[in-house]
Amino acid sequence: MSTTTNPEAGLSALYGSNCFSNAVMRERLPKSVFAELQAVQAGEAELSLAVAEVVAASMRDWAIEKGATHFTHWFHPLSGLSAEKHESFISPTGDGRVIMEFSGKELTKGEPDASSFPSGGLRATFEARGYTAWDATSPAFLKRSPSGVTLCIPTAFVSYFGHALDKKVPLLRSMEALSAVALRVLKSLGDTRSRRVVATVGPEQEYFLVSKAAFLKRPDLLLAGRTVFGSMPAKGQEMEDHYYGAIGEKVAAFMNELNTELWALGVAAKTQHNEVAPNQFELACIFTSANLAADANQLVMETIIKVAERHGLVALLHEKPFDGVNGSGKHINWSMSTDWGSNLLEPGDDPVSNARFLLFAAAVIEAVDTRAGLLRAAAATAGNDRRLGGNEAPPSVISIFLGEALSGILDALVEGRPCESPSGGCLEIGTSTLPKLPRDITDRNRTSPFAFTGNKFEFRMVASSQSAATPATVLNAAVAGVLAGYADRLEAVAAKGGNVASEVSRIVVESYKAHRRVVFDGNGYSPEWAKEAERRGLPRFRSAVEAIPEFASASAVALFSGLGVFSKEELESRCVIYLERYAKQINIEAGVMGDMSRRSIFPAASRLAAEFAREGTELAAVGAPSAAQELRARRLAELAASLAEKTEVLEKALEAAQEIEEPLACAKAYRESVVPRMDELRLVGDALERLMDKAAWPFPSYEDLLFTL
């Protein structure tokens, strides 16, 4: 018997097999219902209960055929995780039997008890109800676990009064706002074809893997997701032998299963490779609309964690699990596309598409300069504070890398001089047409927080553990805000019968002149850049606590509420939630640190000091050299004393911070008095680790954690 298999056929049977995708719906729904649903997805119609009933019945049949017994509304509360509340399809018939039911109402509306999700004051206690509503643009999918199969319905989560309690609602609103203004701009440029503009996102997810056995012996990893003690072994990442290195068998088996799971969910996991640090990896998915990409990224994070478990591994999504090696980010590749798939950040090869490209690129540059604080806030987490600016990740100053070709062209435009195309020929710049651009105008700069990469921008500052929705929402809104101004100008010129093309040139030149201070093509990790950025007046937010309040600044409120993305109350609630989250995270880290120090490190160090002292005395008694033992005993005892003292100082600072009620003041106390005490305590702990017998050190070392897969 032939055993040959066809991998392509296998893959196409696997891909999306756990996803109630449009392809499945096209097959299973009556034509008219599918057409109506497509109109809903395109934002052109409201979902009627009649359509919902038909979709729900079809979804139930499909899910039950595949073994599902339960369904859940799957949503993204502001904790940054995904939430679900499982309900069974079972419905009693009244005669002692049950049938499997799932109504249109159950598909479109859920009522989870919202009171335990963070709302930042948005949900008055007398009205704790929250509602989830199906997001018809994101396909339902099946989750398989040892406890069974569950149909998951991606939903938005709102309060009784319609406030967004999640990450999806503002993202969808920002996509709508961006589409509306981008369309106005396109129409002014003579585009009669496009009906929508879609924000596209392709996230790259970095993570670490460690052995589960070692992980379980590290209370800090277990409780806080990062090591609060740990001295670097003789080898770190300096050999650069891990980056793009061959993937080991254990990890390859994990990745294989991870891909299979993601593909079955219809998540287009595309590339995987070893990252810079030992045991660090990256997974990138093929880009799609921002909303689907954010949902898919939540699934990617969940699935990485779940599959790692099955392989005796633990996945760490924290931004900085280990000091001394690179941390993890989530790069948000972002662009805008028409509904028929034309990328607005793709340089064209005729004057009209060039004008379009330069206009939209100018809008992004202007948005990044004017909304730098918001972008920084969109990447603000306690974990990211440990990564940004650490000579491994973008600094906490927002700048844009354009590459020589693009910045050269824009500089020449602004200065009114002819610009050379990189291929050598002279580019023509008229007053009414913009230059012909070379096709591939990209080079790479890994040190920039925001880089143009040929036909999209890559926001590299984002934190590995956070939802992709927040940075995408901020980007969409920031660019929409700028495009609204451009649309006003272009429409005014067109209304007067003026020359729109000249106005495009004027906008690009004026905007770039005003905002090119944010463009920096040099080494973002260098200390000179920090000084230069200050000279240019670019804002710098050293920590999450400084950045988060940007969400509620007057200019942010004006932008977001003007576009209908966030109300003032919604922004204020996010500030509160993010600040509280920061404080809670540091509180756990500091708590676990005090515990490890008091209960494990101090006793071990002190015992060892006494042992060396005893040995010294015994050796001296027989006239043998004992100075080394005595010296070691003294050094250990001194460090142990310092450890005890610094632990006490930390715990005092912690208690004081815990007393503070007001969220900003509380987060500030954690940042300004707890974090520095943690760093001081760590120095002593790490010095002890270097001095103590390996066998006496109470935790697995960095060697065990980073070099043993």
Give the footprint of ligand ADP on this chain (CB under 6 A).
200-202, 204, 271, 284-287, 333-335, 343, 455-456, 458
Contact at 8 Å (CB) between 539 and 420? no
Euclidean distance between CA atoms 569 and 215, whole angstroms: 41
Using CB positions, name the residue nearest to Mg ion. 331
Shortest distance, CB of residue 243 to Mg ion, whole angstroms? 13
With CB cut-offs between 5 and 8 Å by kind, which of ligand ADP, Mg ion, none does residue 219 bind? Answer: none
The two beta strands, 400-401 and 450-452, are parallel
Question: Which of 330, 331, 376, 632 touches Mg ion (CB under 5 A)?
Answer: 331
With CB cut-offs between 5 and 8 Å by kind, which of ligand ADP, Mg ion, none does residue 334 bind? Answer: ligand ADP
Would you state the structure tokens that stand for residue 73, as one six-digit string? Answer: 């509304």
With CB cut-offs between 5 and 8 Å by kind, which of ligand ADP, Mg ion, none does residue 284 bind? Answer: ligand ADP
With CB cut-offs between 5 and 8 Å by kind, which of ligand ADP, Mg ion, none does residue 323 bind? Answer: none
Phi, psi for residue 206 in degrees, rounded to 5: -100, 150
Instruction: Map the footprint of Mg ion across residues 156-195, applying CB under 5 A.
Output: none
With CB cut-offs between 5 and 8 Å by kind, which of ligand ADP, Mg ion, none does residue 179 bind? Answer: none
With CB cut-offs between 5 and 8 Å by kind, which of Mg ion, ligand ADP, none does residue 407 bind? Answer: none
Shortest distance, CB of residue 403 to Mg ion, whole angstroms? 14
With CB cut-offs between 5 and 8 Å by kind, which of ligand ADP, Mg ion, none does residue 202 bind? Answer: ligand ADP
Shortest distance, CB of residue 466 to Mg ion, whole angstroms? 17
Choose the binding region for Mg ion from 138-146, 201-209, 213-221, 665-673 (rule: CB under 5 A). 201-209
Written as one string, the DSSP assignment of 116-174 is GS--TT-S-GGG-BEEEEE-TTS-EEEEEETTEEEEEEEEEEEETT--B-BSHHHHHHH
Euclidean distance between CA atoms 658 and 675, whole angstroms: 13
Shortest distance, CB of residue 455 to ligand ADP, whole angstroms? 6
Choose the binding region for Mg ion from 198-206, 518-526, 600-608, 693-701 (rule: CB under 5 A). 198-206
With CB cut-offs between 5 and 8 Å by kind, which of Mg ion, ligand ADP, none does residue 682 bind? Answer: none
Euclidean distance between CA atoms 480 and 180, whole angstroms: 8
Contact at 8 Å (CB) between 650 and 596? no
Choose the binding region for Mg ion from 110-118, 323-331, 483-491, 570-578 (rule: CB under 5 A). 323-331
Residues contacting Mg ion: total by CB under 5 A:
2
Residue 258 or residue 285: which is nearer to ligand ADP going by CB?
285
Shortest distance, CB of residue 442 to Mg ion, whole angstroms? 12
Residue 258 or residue 608: which is nearer to ligand ADP going by CB?
258
With CB cut-offs between 5 and 8 Å by kind, which of Mg ion, ligand ADP, none does residue 89 bind? Answer: none
Shortest distance, CB of residue 377 to ligand ADP, whole angstroms? 22
Shortest distance, CB of residue 579 to ligand ADP, whole angstroms? 31
Residue 131 or residue 459: which is nearer to Mg ion going by CB?
459
Shortest distance, CB of residue 189 to Mg ion, whole angstroms? 30
CA 685 to mean position of chain CA atoms: 32
Residue 215 or residue 452: which is nearer to ligand ADP going by CB?
452
Contact at 8 Å (CB) between 583 and 663? yes
Residue 123 or residue 331: which is nearer to Mg ion going by CB?
331
Euclidean distance between CA atoms 182 and 198, whole angstroms: 9
Shortest distance, CB of residue 343 to ligand ADP, whole angstroms? 5
Any long-range contacts for 96-104 (C-beta under 8 Å, 24+ apart)? 100/60, 100/64, 100/69, 101/60, 102/56, 102/57, 102/59, 102/60, 102/71, 102/151, 103/53, 103/56, 104/49, 104/50, 104/51, 104/52, 104/53, 104/54, 104/55, 104/56
Shortest distance, CB of residue 461 to ligand ADP, whole angstroms? 14
Would you state the structure tokens that stand for residue 690, as one six-digit string? Answer: 């270097």
SS3 call for 645? helix
* Site membership for Mg ion, residue 330 (CB under 5 A): no
Element (H, E) at 452: strand 450-452
Instruction: Map the footprint of Mg ion across residues 371-400, applying CB under 5 A.
Output: none
Conformational region of residue 154, where left means phi above 0, alpha means psi within -120 to 50, and beta covers everything else: beta
Question: CA–CA distance from 246 to each of 275, 279, 317, 504, 703 (Å)?
Answer: 11, 12, 22, 49, 20
Euclidean distance between CA atoms 622 and 624, whole angstroms: 6
The amino acid at 22: N
Q: Number of helices (H) and strands (E), helices first, in the chain? A: 25, 18
User: Which positions ≥6 away from 457 have C-beta within 8 Å?
Assistant: 333, 334, 335, 345, 364, 400, 450, 451
Shortest distance, CB of residue 41 to Mg ion, whole angstroms? 29
With CB cut-offs between 5 and 8 Å by kind, which of Mg ion, ligand ADP, none does residue 581 bind? Answer: none
With CB cut-offs between 5 and 8 Å by kind, which of ligand ADP, Mg ion, none does residue 287 bind? Answer: ligand ADP
Shortest distance, CB of residue 299 to ligand ADP, whole angstroms? 15
Contact at 8 Å (CB) between 589 and 222? no
Residue 55 or residue 284: which is nearer to ligand ADP going by CB?
284
Shortest distance, CB of residue 458 to Mg ion, whole angstroms? 5
The two beta strands, 148-159 and 197-211, are unpaired
Shortest distance, CB of residue 284 to Mg ion, whole angstroms? 7
SS3 call for 331? strand
Shortest distance, CB of residue 440 to ligand ADP, whole angstroms? 13
User: Which positions ≥6 away from 263 have C-beta within 8 Å?
Assistant: 11, 14, 15, 16, 269
Residue 335 or residue 473: which is nearer to ligand ADP going by CB?
335
With CB cut-offs between 5 and 8 Å by kind, which of ligand ADP, Mg ion, none does residue 589 bind? Answer: none
Residue 224 or residue 284: which is nearer to ligand ADP going by CB?
284
The two beta strands, 288-289 and 197-211, are antiparallel
The two beta strands, 280-285 and 269-274, are antiparallel
Shortest distance, CB of residue 202 to ligand ADP, whole angstroms? 3
Euclidean distance between CA atoms 267 and 602, whole angstroms: 48
Residue 320 or residue 331: which is nearer to Mg ion going by CB?
331
- For 79, half-sphere exposure in the C-beta direction (CA atoms, 13 angstrom radius) is 11
Residue 24 or residue 199: which is nearer to ligand ADP going by CB?
199
Residue 137 or residue 464: which is nearer to Mg ion going by CB?
464
Residue 204 or residue 319: which is nearer to Mg ion going by CB?
204
- Of 523, 368, 539, the C-alpha closest to 446 is 523
Euclidean distance between CA atoms 54 and 598, whole angstroms: 62
With CB cut-offs between 5 and 8 Å by kind, which of Mg ion, ligand ADP, none does residue 200 bind? Answer: ligand ADP
With CB cut-offs between 5 and 8 Å by kind, which of ligand ADP, Mg ion, none does residue 106 bind? Answer: none
Contact at 8 Å (CB) between 452 and 404? no
Choose the binding region for Mg ion from 199-207, 211-219, 486-494, 534-542 (rule: CB under 5 A). 199-207
The amino acid at 666: C
Residue 219 or residue 394: which is nearer to ligand ADP going by CB?
394
Residue 333 or residue 511: which is nearer to ligand ADP going by CB?
333
Euclidean distance between CA atoms 380 and 382, whole angstroms: 7
Residue 202 or residue 449: which is nearer to ligand ADP going by CB?
202
Euclidean distance between CA atoms 654 and 669, whole angstroms: 9
Residue 150 or residue 354: which is nearer to ligand ADP going by CB?
354
Choose the binding region for Mg ion from 159-167, 200-208, 538-546, 620-628 (rule: CB under 5 A). 200-208
Euclidean distance between CA atoms 230 and 702, whole angstroms: 6
List interacting residues with Mg ion (CB under 5 A).
204, 331
